[in-house]
Structure 1
Amino acid sequence: MTTVTSSADTSAPPPTGPPQDTDQQTRATKQQQKAGARALRDLLKPVSGTLTLGRLLAVVSGIVAVVPYVALVRIGEVLLDAHAAGVAVDGAEVERWLRILLGAFLLRLVIYFVALFLTHLADARFGHLVQLRMVERFARIPLGWFTSTNSGRVRKALQDEIGTVHQLIAHKPVDGTNAVVMPLALMVYAFVIDWRLGLLTIATLPCYVGAMMLPLIGMGAKTVEMDQRLSSVSARMVEFVTGIAVVKAFGRVGRAHRSYQDAADDFYAFYLDWVRPLIRVSALGTSFLAVPLVLLINIGVGSVLVHSTTVTAADVLATALIALLIPYALEVLMNSMWAQQLAGGAALRLVELLDTPVLADDEDEYARPHGHEVVFDHVSYSYGADADSGLAVEDVSFTLREGTVTALVGPSGSGKSTIATLLARFDDPRSGTVRIGGVAVSRIADLYSRVGFVLQDPQLLRISLRDNIALGRPDATEAQIRAAAAAAQILDEIDALPRGFDTVYGTDTTLSGGQAQRVSIARALLVDAPVLVLDEATALTDPESQHEIQQALSALARGRTVLLIAHRPEVITGVDQIILIDGGRVVATGTHDELLTEPGYARLWRSSAAGHDTGRTPVTGTPEGDRR
Structure 2
Amino acid sequence: MTSSTTESQSVSTQANNYNLGGSPPVRVDPAEMDNKAKDKAGRKALNALTGPIRIELGIGRVMAFISAILAIAPYVALVEIGSILFTAQQTGGPIDGDALWGNVWLLLGSFLLRIVIYVFALSLTHFADVKFRSYLRTLMLDRLGRAPLAWFTAINSGRVRKAIQDDAAQIHTLIAHAPVEMTSAIVQPIALLVYAFYIDWRLGIVAILNIPVFVAAYAYMMRDMGEKTAEMDTRLAKVSATMVEFVSGISVVKAFGHVGRAHAQYQTAADEFGAFYLAWCEPMLKGNAIAITFISIPAMLLVNLGCGALLVNAGYVNPVQVLATTLIALLLPMAVMTVGMSTWAYQMAGGAALRIQETLDTPILEPPSVPQTPSSYDVAFHDVSFAYGDTVALEHIDLELKAGTVTALIGPSGSGKSTLATLVARFADPDAGSVTIGGVDIRDIDPDHLYRYVAFVLQDPQLIQATIYDNIVMGRPHATKEEVESAARAAYIHDEIAAFPKGYETVIGQDANVSGGQAQRIAIARALLIDAPILILDEATAATDPDSEAEIQQALNALVKDRTVLVIAHRLSAITGADQIVVLERGRIVAQGAHERILDNPHYQTLLAMNGMA
Q: Given that residues 26 and 221 in structure 1 are in contact (C-alpha distance below 8 angstroms), is that contact kept between their aligned partners in structure 2?
A: no
Identify the match of residue 530 of structure 1 among 509, 530, 533: 533
Decide whether the 8 Å contact of 1:239 with 1:256 is kept in 2: no
Check the 8 A contact 1:371/1:402 in 2, yes or no: yes
Following TM superposition, by how much is the alpha carbon of 1:256 offset from its aligned partner in structure 2, in angstroms?
4.2
- Do 2:572 and 2:611's aligned partners in 1 also have CA atoms closer than 8 Å? yes
1:401-416 to structure 2, matched below 5 A, reads 401-416=402-417
Structure 2 CA distance, aligned partners of 1:326 and 1:542? 71
Task: Say which is worse superposed, 304-313 or 413-422, in terms of deviation.
Answer: 304-313
Determine helix, strand or coil for the equivalent of 2:475.
coil
Partner of 1:182: 188
Residues in 2 aligned to 1:505 and 1:94: alpha-carbon distance in whole angstroms = 72
| 1:23-172 to 2 correspondences below 5 Å | 28-172=34-178
Distance 1:502 1:224 in 2: 47
Are the counterparts in 2 of residues 165 and 343 from structure 1 also a CA contact under 8 Å? Answer: yes
Which of 462, 471, 482 pairs up with 1:459?
462
Decide whether the 8 Å contact of 2:126 with 2:176 is kept in 1: yes
What per-residue deviation string (whole Å, max 9, x for no partner) do you get for residues 132-178 of structure 1? 22122112211100111111111000001111111111111111111
Report Cα offsets for 1:43-75 as digits up to 9, x if no partner. Answer: 111111221111111111111111111111111
What is the Cα deviation at residue 357 of structure 1? Answer: 1.8
Q: Deviations over 1:455-502 (max 9, x none)?
A: 001111121111110000110000000011111111111111111111
Residue 495 of structure 1: which of 498, 517, 531 is its match?
498
Provide, for residues 538-595 of structure 1, a one-character-per-residue CA deviation record: whole Å limited to 9, x for no partner: 1222333111111111111111110000123222111111000011011111111222
Secondary structure at 1:588's aligned position in 2? strand
**In 2, Cα distance between the equivalents of 1:476 and 1:255?**
49
Does 1:375 pair with 2:376?
Answer: no
CA shift, 1:38, in A, is 1.3
Matched, 1:282 2:283: no
What is the alpha-carbon distance in structure 2 between the residues aligned to residue 168 and residue 436 of structure 1?
A: 50
Shift, 1:27, TM fit = 8.3
Matched letter for residue 512 of structure 1? S
1:565 aligns with 568
1:626 is matched with which residue?
Answer: none
Whether 1:509 aligns to 2:515 is: no
1:595 matched residue in structure 2: 598
Distance 1:250 1:206, change over 3 A: farther
Q: Deviations over 1:508-538 (max 9, x none)?
A: 1111111111111111110000100000111
Structure 1 residue 382, shift from structure 2 partner: 1.2
Superposed, 1:390-469 pairs within 5 Å as 390-445=391-446, 446-469=449-472
- Secondary structure at the aligned position of 1:392 is classed as strand
Retained in 1: the 8 A contact 2:487–2:528? yes
Of 529, 541, 545 in structure 2, the residue corresponding to residue 542 of structure 1 is 545
User: Which amino acid is 2:217 matched to?
Assistant: A
Among all aligned residue pairs of Structure 1 and Structure 2, give the percentage whose two residues are the same amino acid: 52
| Partner secondary structure for residue 479 of structure 1 | helix
| 1:255 positional shift | 5.0
Residue 17 of structure 1 is matched in structure 2 by: none
Secondary structure of 2:611's counterpart equals helix
1:255/1:541 CA distance change after superposition, 3 Å: farther
1:359 lines up with 2:360 in the alignment: no
The 1-side partners of 2:401 and 2:518 are apart by: 30
- Between the aligned partners of 2:97 and 2:249, the Cα distance in structure 1 is 76
| Aligned-partner Cα distance in 1 for 2:32–2:579 | 62
Aligned positions of 1:235-314 closer than 5 A: 235-250=241-256, 253-254=259-260, 256-314=262-320
**Change in 2 beyond 3 A, CA 1:249/1:115:** same
| Distance across 2 between alignment mates of 1:141 and 1:284 | 52
Aligned to 2:14: none
For residues 444 and 549 of structure 2, the distance between their equivalents in structure 1, rounded to whole angstroms, comes to 37
Deviation at 1:252, TM superposition (A): 5.7
- Aligned residue in 1 for 2:229: 223
Contact kept in structure 1, 2:407 and 2:580, CA below 8 Å:
yes
Q: Distance in 2 between matches of 1:113 and 1:195?
A: 33
Partner SS for 2:315: coil
Q: Partner letter of residue 377 of structure 1? A: H
**Which of 575, 578, 586 is matched with 1:575 structurally?**
578
Q: Which amino acid aligns with 1:39?
A: A
Matching residue's letter, 2:593 = G
Count of residues paired in the alignment: 582
Q: What's the TM-score once normalised by structure 1's chain length? A: 0.90
Amino acid at match of 1:470: V
State the 1:272 CA deviation: 0.7
CA offsets, 1:316-340, max 9 Å, x none? 1111111111121111111111111
CA contact 1:191–1:199 (8 Å) conserved in 2: yes
- Higher mean alpha-carbon deviation, 588-597 vs 574-583, is at 588-597
How far 1:263 moved relative to its partner?
0.7
- Report the 3-state secondary structure (helix = DSSP H, G, I; strand = E; otherwise coil) of the residue aligned with 2:93: coil
CA distance in 2, matches of 1:28, 1:173: 28
Aligned to 1:563, the other structure's residue is in SS state: strand
* Displacement after TM superposition at 1:26 (Å): 12
TM superposition shift of 1:240? 2.1
Aligned residue among 355, 365, 377 for 1:349: 355
1:584 pairs, out of 587, 590, 594, with: 587
Counterparts of 2:253 and 2:82 in 1: how far apart (Å)? 72
Asked whether 1:332 is paired with 2:338, we answer yes
Residue number in structure 2 paired with 1:4:
none
For residues 192 and 206 of structure 1, the distance between their equivalents in structure 2, rounded to whole angstroms, comes to 21
Asked if 1:199 corresponds to 2:205, the answer is yes
1:380 maps to a residue whose letter is S
Do the aligned residues in 2 keep the contact of 1:570 with 1:605 (CA within 8 Å)? no
> Which secondary structure state, in structure 1, belongs to the residue aligned with residue 590 of structure 2?
strand
Give the CA deviation at 1:88.
3.3
Distance across 1 between alignment mates of 2:573 and 2:278? 60
Q: Secondary structure at the match of 1:507?
A: coil
Q: Distance in 1 between matches of 2:430 and 2:568?
A: 19
Preserved CA contact (<8 Å) 2:384 2:431: yes
Q: Is the 8 A contact 2:39 2:226 kept in 1?
A: yes
Q: Which amino acid aligns with 2:343?
A: M
Change (3 A) 1:68 1:332: same
Q: CA RMSD in A?
A: 1.6
Amino acid across the alignment from 2:608:
W
Secondary structure, aligned partner of 2:583 = strand
Give the structure-2-normalised TM-score.
0.92
Tell me whether 468-477 or 312-321 shows the greater mean CA deviation.
312-321
CA distance in 2, matches of 1:570, 1:498: 38
Tell me which of 454, 473, 477 is aligned to 1:474.
Answer: 477
SS at match of 1:462: coil
User: Structure 2 CA distance, aligned partners of 1:118 and 1:192?
Assistant: 34
Measured against aligned partners, the alpha-carbon deviations of 1:181-239 in whole angstroms (never above 9, x if no partner) come to: 00111111111111111111111111112222321211111111001111111122222
1:320 matches 2:326: yes
In the aligned structure 2, how far is the partner of 1:160 from the partner of 1:476?
Answer: 36
Q: Equivalent residue of 2:382, what SS?
A: strand
Q: 2:13 maps to which residue?
A: none
